[in-house]
Amino acid sequence: MSKASGKIVVITGCTRGLGHALTGYFVHDGAIVIGCGRTALTADPAPPQSFSIVDVSNDAHVSAWAKRALAEHGAPDLLINNAAVIAPNAPLWEVGAEAFRRVMDVNVTGTANVIRHFVPAMIARGKGVIVNFSSGWGRSTSPEVAPYCASKWAIEGLTQALAQELPPGLAAIALNPGIIDTEMLRSCFGSEAGHYPSPAQWVKAAGPFLLGLAAKDNGRALTVPGGS
């Protein structure tokens, strides 16, 4: 029996990039995946898998999605806050207010919204792992990506504080996935992104790594093996 068999996994941002790769991995490995994204999946998987169009930055949308998911499936074993956006490369003073706000709303407020509506059920159950996707840019910085850096540094701090608030049996982990050839990376690196692993290659290490996380990892800032 696989590690994922029968586990309930919630993933945000599941329609593209790393979230899409993880969704495929967990479904194939026998998990029940409850996913959301800003757009629909190209093909709807059969039940008990569940996928919804949700803007995680909208608390009311997340609340309604979580109520449906929890009523159907119960508390997740693994909650992955993956959904994120990035602003076009530019010096900070050239980033418009709306572009800056969108990065913070999705990457930080969206993560908090999902935690707000799923974690109480995990606490009541007495177990579960919350993984908030950070970045190398949540632990270092580069020019022209200041809003994204700010959002991921916020995720690191938010996760550390959450870890101190959780009761025994649960874990909150900030995870740097590494440098992966995604649409987001190409918006920053251009064709140079092609020098890095694809999501399909990355998930071969990331999937088992995520399934191996447990309460003992609470508060740790980790990186997927092989990531940068």
Contact 142, 169 (CB under 8 A): no
Catalytic amino acids? 148
Q: Which residue has the tokens 């029968």?
A: 6
